[in-house]
Structure formats: structure tokens, C-alpha cells
Amino acid sequence: MAPDDPAVRRFWTALIGPGAVADLLRLTAAARAGRSLRRPVHLAELLCEGLVLRDGNAIWVHRNVPLLSPGHVRRLRPSLRAEYRAAMAL
């Protein structure tokens, strides 16, 4: 998904929280612009969910935000899980 896709905020926020999503979007924007940032507050959550990678002091982000894995989808509340599956079927 593109970082500005509304699905990123809708579904990833439900899993990791708004602060972690904001950090992820700042990292993505900085990477696209070739800028560096200070260490994100929610780096541990982003690493744990596989949204960023760490190589020494460098933090690597994907060009696009990955779709939810099946394990992530199972963690969504049932109504949001159905909404996600319907949105991804389009």
C-alpha cells in the first residue's frame, strides 16, 4: 500500500496505534526525500511488526507499507477484519 493510502491509517493504526503509524509515515517520507530523522519513539513496535529493519544505526523502510499478514488480520476485531478483507478484495 502507498503510505498515503487511507487503509494504512485505518488498519495499521488498529494494530500498532496512531503514534507508531505516525512514526512509520515520517520515516517513509524522510526516506523518499533522502533525509534522516532522530530515532522514532515507536521504533520497537515498528521493528517487531516487520515494518522497518535495522542495520546497525541505519533504519530501513519499505517504499510502500506492507499489507497485513494473516496473523495481523486475525488480531483485528471482527468488524474491522471483515472491512479489511472486503477492502483488499477490490
| pLDDT at residue number 90 | 66
d(CA 83, CA 39): 33
Residue 64 CB contacts under 8 Å (≥ 6 apart), including other chains: 1, 2, 3
Specify the DSSP element, H or E, that contains 19: helix 18-33
Give pLDDT tens digits along the chain (90 positions): 999 899 999 999 999 999 999 999 999 999 999 998 999 999 999 999 999 999 998 999 998 999 999 999 999 999 999 999 999 986
What's the pLDDT at 6? 94
Domain boundaries, the chain: 6-89
Note the pLDDT of residue 28. Answer: 94
